[in-house]
Structure 1
Amino acid sequence: MANESVTCKPQTRRDCVKYGGAIVGGSLLAGCTGDGDGDEERTAATESSSTDPYTVSMEPVGDVTFDRVPERWVAYDGGYADMAVALGQADGLAGTGMADRYYTHVYDELAGVDVDRSVLEAYPDVHTKEEFYELDCDVHLYDPQMLINWFEWSDDDVEEIVDNVAPFVGNLIFRRSDEWHDYRYYTLYEAFETVADVFQETARYDAFAELHDEFIADVRAQLPSEEARPDVFVTYDETDQPDSFSPYRLDDGGTSTKQWRDLGPTDALADTDIDHLSTTDRGNLDYEGLLDLDPEIILVRGHERKSAAEFRDTVLAYMESHPVGNELEAVRNGRVYRGGYLYQGPIHNLFLTERAAKQLYPDVFGDVTDDAELFDRQRVADIVNGEF
């Protein structure tokens, strides 16, 4: 479909008409954004907005050209929402998909960093065309192929929203096991850099990347030898009385297991033919199957609203009372922990890596329930707030 130029009225951003191009591999042009007022004064660390068009590229949509820096945005998952917040864009949040899996409590430890939960409560699971029209955002941080494969959208539906509302920029990166995802994947920081390009906030991105690299290098320098590291099993089960276990492979490459790969434990599934959880493979293990693996550590996802103590009093307590579960080494030794977020952005990743280091190597980094901090919270807050 050919792009059509439009003339934007100067009064408000809402008077601007969005326009777009091909969905995959083509050029998606976003229409005017911004409210027509002069640029606000910004800190020296933050790049100023420009009225000159600029282009961002990300599979599966290809090139996306913006006339102005987006102000109002919606993200499907907490990982992309966290990226935008890290880039100082929290005020532009209009809603998310899967708000129940967007964990904003981590921002409580960062001075001056906050997300309006009422926005998430008003639009907690944005995935219909009607919602996209109603929100009228400047950019949608979504992989459109996810909408097609999870929510039965068509290519025409995607193109309609691009034409009439705003473009999509996003790539489903939390796992790499879906057959329909036959295009490039991105690492967490590759995707984060692209989102930084969308918001023209590369200085903040660079500061985060430097902090992240220093933090990971420092933690890795303290790890025990490979042969002294534990083997772990990552699973998903959000019930307090788990009786089946959906497996995740650490070598999947998705962002949801980044902290484990960075910390180098052995994957309990490494020498098995057990597949990673995906859209088409919902296989799981029972306790007997898990006992065959008998990992040293079990990491159970789906319990991030619980504290460490609440998790132990419910999930671990149930496994200890189970006639087969209590035979597992991890259960006998009390090494069953919360397994981290499915969707994590750069801020989430810092907190999750710190927690994972304590779960895996308490003799080195301290117990998971202690208050020891492995990265500088104030430095993170300063980057988000543009004071760096």
Structure 2
Amino acid sequence: MSDNNVNRREAPTRREYVKYGGAVVGGGLLAGCTGNADDGATEDTENTGGTPTNSTTDDTTENEDGPEPYTASIEPVGEVTFKRPPERWVAYDGGYADMAVALGQGDGLTGLGYAPRYYTYVYDELPGVGVDRDAVEAHPEVRTKEEFYELDADVHLYDPQMLVNWFDWDDDDVDEITENVAPFFGNLIFRRSDEWHDYRYYTLYEAFERVATVFDETARFEAFAALHDEFIADLQTRLPPVDERPNVFLTFEGTEEPETFSPYRLIDKGTSKKQWRDLGVTDALAGTDIENLSTSNRGELDYENLLEVDPDVILIRGHERKSAQEFRDTVLAYMKDHSVGSELAAVQNGRVYRGGYLNQGPIHNLFLTERAAKQIYPEEFGDVTGNEQLFDRQRVADIVNGDI
């Protein structure tokens, strides 16, 4: 850290927007639970039931000295006290960035921890919704202390233990940025298979609710939650009986000529698999000893291994910049020509599809669930290459734009 940064911090800055509450003291607490009211098992459902935030306010109240402070809470961070809603924010992944956009905060984006997995093209279908791509392109991998100082955001939507376990930070580094720049607020929720994540997980809408508290946007959250619940309930009334549903193999393989496949388990309750659980699909790996892809497990299956499972549907992640047709013309075409891959039932039946985002927020999830419904149940919801819409784009845009 340069002397310039230290000196600049002595003057009043946006750091005055936020400060930690007394529940968060010292780096040692970050590695586990902080002992606040958020402790305990999370709900299995991805619907909005979940547990409420510790404390929230629908509107920042004013007194003669200015706005009343309010708190938001999430593990492993604990309680964070805000003097007023943050204006500038950085998110590590596209899931938390999408939450902020859904809450009408798109203009505050200043950078991302990993921009390649933030898919903003879905906003093109929502009138008046978007983010500043220049900000994303200028700061696409915010992971160093120097970058946090440079961006000088009001809140960092990161799980700080992810920085510790993936990018060689320590708890003192987390404390330094917290005290000198702004707090962290996040929980790695896209999967549940990392050994270091020994604290509470959240469903997508539980985490979204907490982020809404940060931005003091409870009304937008509640409108989104109502839209989501209505959408999922409608889809579920149209699903075929359980014994008529296909089994699904979810994998990652980013090449157009795949030879091996990194497996995901649908029993993992991470948010990246939410659409498949909501649509009641069966994990093709059920009953096997194949483990979920994680930081410590990087095992892969070849075509011979996959043929032993022979799933009804194969979903391949790593191709989200392709359209449905482009994916079929490249990846599926290669598998059809493969000497062993062509023996797979899913390949023969043309039931190999894009596998969705690793990091999805509430807007992403609506689009991905719509796509998944078409992939898994085309007879009911239409072909995945078609244009049939299963949710109201204008209603989503209205909520984001404040017309609730």
TM-score (norm: length of structure 1): 0.90
Whether the aligned pair in 2 keeps the contact of 1:18 and 1:165 (CA below 8 Å) is: no
Work out the CA distance in 1 between the residues paired with 2:88 and 2:166: 24
2:397 aligned with 1:364, yes or no?
A: no
What one-letter code is carried by the residue in structure 1 that aligns with 2:303? Y
2:26 aligned with 1:22, yes or no?
A: yes
Where do 1:39-118 residues align within 5 Å?
48-50=59-61, 51-118=67-134
Work out the CA distance in 2 between the residues paired with 1:91 and 1:333: 44
Work out the CA distance in 2 between the residues paired with 1:267 and 1:260: 9
2:156 aligned with 1:156, yes or no?
A: no
TM-score (norm: length of structure 2): 0.87
Work out the CA distance in 1 between the residues paired with 2:349 and 2:13: 58
Instruction: Report the alpha carbon displacement of residue 22 of structure 1 after superposing the two structures with TM.
Output: 3.1
Q: How many residues align?
A: 362
Whether the aligned pair in 2 keeps the contact of 1:19 and 1:164 (CA below 8 Å) is: no
Work out the CA distance in 2 between the residues paired with 1:249 and 1:373: 28
For 1:4, the equivalent position in structure 2 comes to none
Where do 1:281-292 residues align within 5 Å?
281-292=297-308
Instruction: Report the alpha carbon displacement of residue 320 of structure 1 after superposing the two structures with TM.
Output: 0.8
Q: CA RMSD in A?
A: 1.8
For 2:157, the equivalent position in structure 1 comes to 141
Q: Residue 111 of structure 2 aligns to a residue in which SS?
A: strand
2:313 aligned with 1:297, yes or no?
A: yes
CA offset digits 1:272-297 (Å, max 9, x no partner): 11000000000110110000000010
Work out the CA distance in 2 between the residues paired with 1:331 and 1:308: 15
2:189 aligned with 1:185, yes or no?
A: no
For 1:352, the equivalent position in structure 2 comes to 368
Q: Residue 260 of structure 2 aligns to a residue in which SS?
A: coil
For 1:194, the equivalent position in structure 2 comes to 210
CA offset digits 1:308-353 (Å, max 9, x no partner): 1111111111111111000000000111000000000000000000
2:235 aligned with 1:231, yes or no?
A: no
Q: Residue 157 of structure 1 aligns to a residue in which SS?
A: helix
Q: Residue 188 of structure 2 aligns to a residue in which SS?
A: coil
Instruction: Report the alpha carbon displacement of residue 57 of structure 1 after superposing the two structures with TM.
Output: 1.0
Whether the aligned pair in 2 keeps the contact of 1:17 and 1:164 (CA below 8 Å) is: no
Q: Residue 261 of structure 1 aligns to a residue in which SS?
A: helix
Work out the CA distance in 2 between the residues paired with 1:13 and 1:356: 45
Whether the aligned pair in 1 keeps the contact of 2:34 and 2:76 (CA below 8 Å) is: no
Relative to structure 1, the CA distance from residue 387 to residue 191 in structure 2 (aligned partners, 3 Å threshold; closer, same or farther) is: same
Work out the CA distance in 2 between the residues paired with 1:323 and 1:275: 27
Structure 2: stretches of 5+ with no match in the other structure: 1-8, 36-56, 62-66
Relative to structure 1, the CA distance from residue 161 to residue 293 in structure 2 (aligned partners, 3 Å threshold; closer, same or farther) is: same
Whether the aligned pair in 2 keeps the contact of 1:296 and 1:330 (CA below 8 Å) is: yes
Work out the CA distance in 1 between the residues paired with 2:278 and 2:313: 16
What one-letter code is carried by the residue in structure 2 that aligns with 1:90? G
Relative to structure 1, the CA distance from residue 265 to residue 18 in structure 2 (aligned partners, 3 Å threshold; closer, same or farther) is: closer
Whether the aligned pair in 2 keeps the contact of 1:98 and 1:125 (CA below 8 Å) is: yes
For 1:382, the equivalent position in structure 2 comes to 398
After TM superposition, the structure 1 stretch with the greater mean CA deviation from structure 2, 51-60 or 296-305, is 51-60
Structure 1: stretches of 5+ with no match in the other structure: 1-8, 28-45
2:250 aligned with 1:246, yes or no?
A: no
For 2:143, the equivalent position in structure 1 comes to 127
Instruction: Report the alpha carbon displacement of residue 265 of structure 1 after superposing the two structures with TM.
Output: 1.1
Whether the aligned pair in 2 keeps the contact of 1:325 and 1:331 (CA below 8 Å) is: yes
CA offset digits 1:180-204 (Å, max 9, x no partner): 0000000000000000000000000
What one-letter code is carried by the residue in structure 2 that aligns with 1:143? D
What one-letter code is carried by the residue in structure 1 that aligns with 2:92? Y
Whether the aligned pair in 2 keeps the contact of 1:77 and 1:102 (CA below 8 Å) is: yes
Whether the aligned pair in 2 keeps the contact of 1:144 and 1:158 (CA below 8 Å) is: yes
Relative to structure 1, the CA distance from residue 17 to residue 138 in structure 2 (aligned partners, 3 Å threshold; closer, same or farther) is: closer
Q: Residue 253 of structure 1 aligns to a residue in which SS?
A: coil
Instruction: Report the alpha carbon displacement of residue 251 of structure 1 after superposing the two structures with TM.
Output: 1.1
Relative to structure 1, the CA distance from residue 160 to residue 367 in structure 2 (aligned partners, 3 Å threshold; closer, same or farther) is: same
Relative to structure 1, the CA distance from residue 276 to residue 238 in structure 2 (aligned partners, 3 Å threshold; closer, same or farther) is: same
What one-letter code is carried by the residue in structure 1 that aligns with 2:183? P
